[in-house]
Structure 1
């Protein structure tokens, strides 16, 4: 199965690295955005299977964007350079399928959250 992914993160370098990593693991990265607004619009246009969504974006919190991403039909995995424990119950309350720290990002980790 080749999941179509949109990466929403304000750090261009992370988007590039995540794209390379996921494409090596047979994901299809169909787009990337540097802001929440652009990410929602891109997801509406592209209808990805998954949005990899940074928690801290310049125009708002990734937690708040989960419902809009779900409306596009995408599953949502939140990501951050911080640990999941730093966010308490916010990950669960957001409705996202899960959370992966940026340093722990792998295709296998994503698939385990979507199973």
Structure 2
């Protein structure tokens, strides 16, 4: 199981809830970011095993952040959203993310399924 996670989401409440849930499941959350740009910089600096990445960010969307991290040979990316995956265009499947977990279904085992 991957040990370290970076949470990138523009909602502080979700970041706090995700941190508590993932830490309770044995993950070590090494950082949080509120924007795509901050997330890219944090991933480069912190080198997490997994980035839990919101698709709808205020500056650079999660799809583009995933592409950039993939080009850099970065961590496993698991996308998340309060919306369903089918609400996103087809390129969602080809951005380099390992998978998608709806925010309401987030758990350590859901992350582990994609980050292995």
- Tell me the TM-score normalized by structure 2: 0.93
Q: CA deviation at 1:72?
A: 5.6
Q: CA deviation at 1:91?
A: 2.3
Q: How many angstroms apart in 2 are the aligned matches of 1:89 and 1:76?
A: 17
Q: Which has the higher contact order (CA 8 A, sep 6+)?
A: 2
Q: Give runs of aligned pairs for residues 1-115 of structure 1, distance below 5 A.
A: 1-70=1-70, 71=72, 73-115=74-116
Q: CA deviation at 1:93?
A: 1.5
* Corresponding residue SS for 1:60: coil
Q: CA deviation at 1:94?
A: 1.1
What's the C-alpha RMSD, in Å, of the aligned pairs? 1.3
- Tell me the TM-score normalized by structure 1: 0.93
Q: How many angstroms apart in 1 are the aligned matches of 2:2 and 2:98?
A: 18
Runs of 4+ in 1 over 6 A off after TM superposition: none
Q: Is the 8 A contact 2:8 2:33 kept in 1?
A: yes
Q: How many angstroms apart in 2 are the aligned matches of 1:86 and 1:2?
A: 29
Q: How many angstroms apart in 1 are the aligned matches of 2:57 and 2:51?
A: 14
Q: CA deviation at 1:2?
A: 4.9
> How many residues were matched structurally?
115
- 5+ long unaligned stretches in structure 1: none
Q: How many angstroms apart in 1 are the aligned matches of 2:73 and 2:38?
A: 13
